[in-house]
Structure 1
Amino acid sequence: MSIASIAAPHRPPRRPWAWLWLFGASQLLMLALWWRFGWAAGLLAMLVSHGAMFWGTLWPRSRLFGPVLARLPTQARAMWLTIDDGPSDDTPAMLDLLDAYGAKATFFLVAERAAARPQLAREIVRRGHGIGNHSQSHPQAWFWALGPGRMAAEIEQAQAGLRAVTGVTPRWFRAVVGMANPFVSASLKKLALARVAWSARGFDGVRGEPDSVVARIVADFRPGAIVLLHEGAPHGNNVAIVEGVLRAMKDAGYVAVVPE
C-alpha cells in the first residue's frame, strides 16, 4: 500500500445544543422522582445526570456532545499520525524524520505559537502535511471548563489565525488535553470542523522515556489507529519518541496516512 489520503468520516456537529434539551429533561425527571419517591431517589438521579455531563467532558472519545473520530475506518495496515502543541523547536527535526521515513502526519497547531513561528507553520504545509486546529492559546488547565464565549474565542480565533498564517483552512479540531465540554460543538458546526480524538497514546506530553512511551504506543497499533504524539514538551525527548514510533511502524509494515 502506498502512502496516500484515506477516506474518513468528516462529521461536524449537526445539533450543537441538543445536550441542553436532554439535560433539562433529566432535571425535570430528577424533580419528579424527588417529589414521588423522596430525596434519596432525587439525589441519585441528580448525581447520575451530572455525572454523565462530567464524563462527556472529560472522556476524550465521548460522543455525548457531538461526533468524534477516534479511529480511521480501514482494515489496511495504515495509521494516522497526529502531532499536537506546535510549532516548536522540535518541528524542523520532526519534519526531517517524517521525510526520511516517507510518512505524512497532521500537526494540530496552537494558533498563538503558529503566529510566533509562521515560517515553521508554513513549512509543515509545504512538505505536504496536514494542519489541525488545537485552540488559540492552549489553556491546558481550564479548557474543559471554559464558558461559551471564551470557548468560541479559542476555537474561532485559532481557525482564522491558522488560515492567515498558512493559507490552509483546518478541517479537523482536537480539544486541549482531549477534553471537550458542551460549548465546543457550536463553534465546530459554525466552522465545519470535525473533532478528532485518538486510539493510541504514550503520554509523551508529560513522560519522556522514549523506550517506554514508544512501547505503550506500539501496544495499541491497529489498522486505522489514530496515534497521539506531541512536540515541544519540557522533557525534550519528543523527537526521539516520534523516531521510535516511525521505526516501529516500518518494522510492523504500517504506513502513515492523512485523511485530508
Structure 2
Amino acid sequence: MKKKRWIPVLVCVIISLCVCGVLGFQYLDLNGRYQKLEIEASQLQENNSGLNEQLADSAAQLEEKEKYIEGQKDYISELSEQIQDFGNEDSTEDSWEDSSEDDWSSTNKSEDDPYPNLYADKDDLPVQSGQKYVYLTFDDGPSSLTPKVLDILDEYNAHATFFVVAANNEEYEEYLSEIVERGHTLALHSYSHNYNQIYRSVNAFLEDYEKLYDWVYEETGGYSPCLFRFPGGSNNGSSYIVNNIIKEMERRGFTHYDWNVSSGDGSNLTTTENIIDNVCSNVGYIDNPVILMHDGSGKNATLTALPTVLQKLSDAGYEFRSLDQHSEPVQYRQLKQ
C-alpha cells in the first residue's frame, strides 16, 4: 500500500516538471521575441528620426527657395518697370524737346543763382571705355554696414562708388571721409530721398542737392563730388522736370549715372543667393557693367553676398573700378544734342 501512495505523487511531480519546462520554454521564446521587437522598435525609431531630419532639411530648403523666388519676383518687377520706362521715354522725348525747357536754364544763369555752392570741379580728360572693368556702386549709405563693406573691398583690392544720402544717416557722417581716404568715389544721391519732394520741380531738386553737397563738402574737409544718381534712377519723375534737372546739373558740372546691372537688393525680400545670381549671371552680357547695390541700414544680405560677388568677378578677369567723370556714362535719359 505504501508503494502505491508514491505513484500519484511521482506523477504529479513529473507533470509539474513538464508544465514548468513548457512554461520556461515559452518564457524564453517570448523573451527572445520581446528583445527582437525592442531592437526592431529601436531601428524604427532611428529611421523615423532620420526621416524627421530629412523632412526638416527639405522644409528648410523649400523655405529658402520660396524666399529666393520672392526676391526674384521683386527683381523682375524692377526690370519690367525699367523696360516700360524705356518705352515711354521715346514717346515723351520729342515733345520735351519742343517745350520751353530753355526758359528755366536761361532764367537761372544770372548772378542771382540761388544755389551758388552747387558746382562740380571737372577736367577734360577723355572718357574711359573698352576695358574689362566692373563698377560697383552702393546707394543709400552711409550706415553701420559701410565700414564693413569698405573692409571687404580692401580685401579684394576693389574700388567702388558710394552714392550717399544724408537724411537719417547723420550719425554715420564720419564714414564719408573714410570712403574718400580708402580710394573710392563719393557721389551724391539725395539729401532726403523723398521722391514727392525732390521731383516736384527743378528748384526743389537743386535745393535738396545743394544741402547734400554742402554736407559732404563740410564733413570731408573739402571733397567736391561731381557725380550724382537720381533716387530710383533717371527714369523717375516727369520727363519735363527730370530733363530740365539733367540739363541744369550738367551746366553746373555734374554727370548722372544710372546702372545696367541690378543686384535686386532694393527689396528686403532679396536673399544673398538672389544677389549673387543677379549680379554674376548678368555682368557677362554687359560691355560696361555698372552694378547697383546698397549699403544702407538693414542690407545685411548684400554684405554677406559681397565677398562671393567679388571673388566670382575677379576670377572672371574683371578689375573693380570706381566711377569718375571720365567713366563711360550709363544713363536712362540722355539729352539730345
With structure 2 as the length reference, what TM-score do the two structures score?
0.53
Q: CA deviation at 1:109?
A: 0.7
Q: CA deviation at 1:172?
A: 0.5
Q: CA deviation at 1:228?
A: 0.9
Q: CA deviation at 1:138?
A: 1.1
Say which of 218, 222, 229 aligns to 1:164.
218
Q: CA deviation at 1:163?
A: 1.3
Q: CA deviation at 1:225?
A: 0.9
User: What SS is found at the alignment partner of 1:92?
Assistant: helix
| Cα distance in structure 2, aligned partners of 1:122 and 1:19 | 43
User: What SS is found at the alignment partner of 2:161?
Assistant: strand
Q: CA deviation at 1:90?
A: 0.7
| Cα distance in structure 2, aligned partners of 1:112 and 1:131 | 16
* 2:78 counterpart of 1:23: no
Match of 2:161 in 1: 106
| Structure 1: unaligned runs, 5 residues or longer | 1-17, 26-71
**Is the contact made by 1:98 and 1:104 (CA closer than 8 Å) also made in structure 2?**
yes
* Deviates most, 235-244 or 115-124: 235-244
**Is the contact made by 2:198 and 2:208 (CA closer than 8 Å) also made in structure 1?**
no
* 2:275 counterpart of 1:220: no
**Is the contact made by 1:199 and 1:220 (CA closer than 8 Å) also made in structure 2?**
no
**Is the contact made by 1:208 and 1:236 (CA closer than 8 Å) also made in structure 2?**
no
User: What SS is found at the alignment partner of 2:270?
Assistant: coil
Match of 2:205 in 1: 151
**Is the contact made by 1:173 and 1:194 (CA closer than 8 Å) also made in structure 2?**
yes
More helix by share: 2
* 2:189 counterpart of 1:134: yes
Residues 217 and 145 from structure 1, CA distance in 2 versus in 1: closer, same or farther, beyond 3 angstroms? same
Q: CA deviation at 1:91?
A: 0.4
User: What SS is found at the alignment partner of 2:163?
Assistant: strand
Matches within 5 A, 1:1-260: 22-23=98-99, 74-112=129-167, 115-139=170-194, 141-142=195-196, 145-166=199-220, 167-178=222-233, 179=236, 181-206=242-267, 207-221=269-283, 222-234=286-298, 236-260=300-324
Q: How many residues align?
A: 196
User: What SS is found at the alignment partner of 2:137?
Assistant: strand
Pick 1 or 2: higher relative contact order, CA cutoff 8 A, min separation 6.
1
Tell me which amino acid in the other structure corresponds to 2:265: D
State the identity as a percent.
26
| Structure 2: unaligned runs, 5 residues or longer | 1-93, 102-126, 325-337
Q: CA deviation at 1:131?
A: 0.3
Tell me which amino acid in the other structure corresponds to 1:217: V
* Deviates most, 127-136 or 150-159: 150-159
| Cα distance in structure 1, aligned partners of 2:95 and 2:247 | 11
User: What SS is found at the alignment partner of 2:322?
Assistant: coil
Deviations 1:37-68 (CA, angstroms, capped at 9, x unpaired) = xxxxxxxxxxxxxxxxxxxxxxxxxxxxxxxx
